[in-house]
Amino acid sequence: MRDRYANLTRIRALDPERDHLAIYQTMLRYEFPWDLKLGLNLAFNRSFSVPAIAAVHTATGELTERTQQRLDDTGLLMYEMVLNGFDQPRGREALRRVNQIHRRYDISNDAYRYVLGCLVVIPTRWLQRYGWRRPCCHERHATHVFYRELGRRMGITDIPASYEAFETWFDAHDATHLQPNDDAAAIERATRMLMLTRIPRPLAPLGNALVSAMYDAPLRRAMRVDTPAWPVRAGLHAALKTRARLQRWFGAPRTEALFADGIRTKSYPDGYEISQLGPQQDQVPGRPDA
Q: pLDDT tens digit string along 55-101? A: 999 999 989 999 999 999 999 999 999 999 999 999 999 999 999 99
Which position has the higher pLDDT, 2 or 232? 232
If you average pLDDT over every residue of the chain, what do you get?
93
Alpha-helical (H) ranges within 61-154 are 62-65, 67-84, 89-102, 109-130, 137-153
Tally of structural domains, the chain:
1
**Distance from C-alpha of 83 to C-alpha of 167, rounded to nearest angstrom:** 25
Whether 206 is covered by a domain: the verdict is yes
Q: Which residues is 289 bridged to in the sheet?
A: 106
CA 190, 172, 165, 134 torsion-angle sign:
negative
Whether 132 is covered by a domain: the verdict is yes
Q: What mean pLDDT do residues 270-284 have?
A: 82
Half-sphere exposure of 144 (CA within 13 A, CB side): 20
Contact 53, 47 (CB under 8 A): yes
Whether 276 is covered by a domain: the verdict is no
Whether 282 is covered by a domain: the verdict is no
Max alpha carbon distance in the chain (Å)? 56
Please report which helix (H) or strand (E) contains residue 169, including its range. helix 163-177
Q: What is the pLDDT of residue 290?
A: 32
Measured at the CA of 168, the angle between CA 181 and CA 164, to 5 degrees, comes to 135
**258-261: long-range contacts at Cβ-Cβ below 8 A with a sequence spacing of 24 or more?**
258/28, 258/29, 258/30, 258/33, 258/37, 259/29, 259/79, 259/83
**Distance from C-alpha of 52 to C-alpha of 54, rounded to nearest angstrom:** 6
Q: What is the pLDDT of residue 288?
A: 36
What's the pLDDT band for 188 if we cut at 50, 70, 90? Answer: very high
Choose among 285, 223, 269: nearest CA to 68: 269
Contact 109, 26 (CB under 8 A): no
Taking CA atoms, 202 is separated from 49, 198, 205, 207, 210, in Å, by 30, 12, 8, 10, 12
Whether 286 is covered by a domain: the verdict is no
Q: What mean pLDDT do residues 123-140 have?
A: 98
Q: What is the pLDDT of residue 102?
A: 92
Question: Which residues have CB under 8 Å from 131's CB, separation 6+?
Answer: 32, 35, 244
Parent domain of 48: 3-267
Whether 190 is covered by a domain: the verdict is yes
**Distance from C-alpha of 158 to C-alpha of 69, rounded to nearest angstrom:** 32
With a cut of 60, say whether residue 283 has pLDDT above it.
no
With a cut of 60, say whether residue 25 has pLDDT above it.
yes
Whether 109 is covered by a domain: the verdict is yes
With a cut of 80, say whether residue 285 has pLDDT above it.
no
**Distance from C-alpha of 227 to C-alpha of 233, rounded to nearest angstrom:** 9
What's the pLDDT band for 106 if we cut at 50, 70, 90? Answer: confident
Whether 277 is covered by a domain: the verdict is no
With a cut of 80, say whether residue 198 has pLDDT above it.
no
**Distance from C-alpha of 61 to C-alpha of 68, rounded to nearest angstrom:** 12
With a cut of 50, say whether residue 156 has pLDDT above it.
yes
